């Protein structure tokens, strides 16, 4: 209830009943003096303490018109950022962990790259460990592999590159074999890998490969 004057006083006798009514009104509705605010609140360098810990669905610190986005405490010494009621980031003494399969999407580099900087330009976009069959042993962002003959494997990417101008590197897991760079068959959505020995002979070998470029 908003705090409002109970009685407009005039020249009259002050009764204890009227006094009690006025004071009770102030005491009972003290919160309405500051909440909701009608102007900016200046803490003047003081802390705001003892907020509700909240939850991911209803964070203790949320914002106008968006009560399921903000900050909350998931456990002691663990602060979370939530958006749309779902936890996005948890920070704790163990570090920062992204939640619910959310990726880090770094910005594109501009100017001289910052020291040790992570940019979308320098992130490995795909990698795979491929057995002789050829079959995938481990992979990221690989949709399929295709056996094109001895030592010839076509890797198709799950998420394509913007064009064929990306870097592919890898190595064959054998002493006398090496992985040659994909040649004319490199496309936005696939790359043909050739494994050959130092005599130039294509040969089946397990290998690992990774790709870096713009997507």
Partner 1 sequence: MPIVWVKADGSLEIQRIALTYLERERLPGEPTDVAVMRLALRLQSKVPAWVGLTPQLVTEANLPPDRTQRHKWRLQGGRVQVDLTVPDPPAPKKAKKDAIDAAVTLADLKAVLKVII
Residues that bind partner 1 (CB under 8 A): 132-136, 139, 142-150, 154, 156-158, 160, 185, 187-190, 199-201, 204
Q: Taking a C-beta distance cutoff of 8 angstroms, is the pair 161, 177 a contact? A: no
- Minimum CB separation of residue 175 from partner 1 in Å reads 19
Looking only at the bridges linking them, the beta strands covering 177-180 and 190-197 are antiparallel
The Cα-based distances of 157 to 63, 131, 144 in angstroms read: 40, 17, 7
Q: Which is nearer to partner 1, 157 or 166 (CB)?
A: 157
Token pair of 11, please? 């020249």
- By residue count, the chain amounts to 215
- Minimum CB separation of residue 148 from partner 1 in Å reads 5
- Minimum CB separation of residue 130 from partner 1 in Å reads 10
Q: Which is nearer to partner 1, 69 or 154 (CB)?
A: 154
Q: Which is nearer to partner 1, 65 or 200 (CB)?
A: 200
Q: Which is nearer to partner 1, 155 or 179 (CB)?
A: 155
- Minimum CB separation of residue 123 from partner 1 in Å reads 19
Token pair of 73, please? 């405490």
- Minimum CB separation of residue 206 from partner 1 in Å reads 13
Cα–Cα nearest to 52, from 61, 41, 44:
61
Phi-psi region of 154 (alpha: psi -120 to 50; beta: other; left: phi over 0): beta
Q: Which is nearer to partner 1, 56 or 142 (CB)?
A: 142
Looking only at the bridges linking them, the beta strands covering 61-63 and 152-157 are unpaired
Token pair of 45, please? 């360098």
């Amino acid at each position: 209830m908003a705090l409002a004057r109970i009685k407009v006083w005039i020249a009259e006798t002050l009764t204890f009943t009227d006094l009690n009514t006025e004071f009770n009104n102030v005491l009972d509705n003290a919160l309405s003096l500051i909440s909701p605010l009608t102007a900016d609140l200046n803490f003047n360098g003081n802390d705001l303490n003892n907020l509700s810990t909240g939850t991911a669905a209803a964070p203790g610190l949320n914002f106008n018109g968006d009560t399921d986005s903000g900050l909350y405490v998931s456990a002691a010494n663990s602060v979370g950022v939530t958006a749309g009621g779902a936890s996005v980031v948890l920070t704790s003494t163990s570090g920062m962990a992204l939640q619910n399969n959310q990726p880090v999407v770094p910005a594109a580099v501009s100017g001289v790259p910052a020291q040790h900087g992570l940019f979308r330009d320098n992130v490995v976009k795909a990698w795979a460990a491929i057995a002789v069959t050829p079959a995938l042993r481990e992979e990221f962002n690989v949709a399929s592999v295709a056996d094109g003959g001895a030592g010839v494997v076509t890797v198709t990417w799950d998420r394509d590159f913007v064009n064929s101008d990306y870097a592919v590197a890898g190595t064959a897991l054998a002493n006398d074999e090496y992985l040659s760079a994909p040649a004319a068959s490199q496309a936005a959505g696939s790359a043909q890998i050739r494994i050959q020995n130092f005599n130039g002979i294509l040969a089946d070998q397990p290998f690992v490969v990774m790709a870096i470029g713009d997507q």
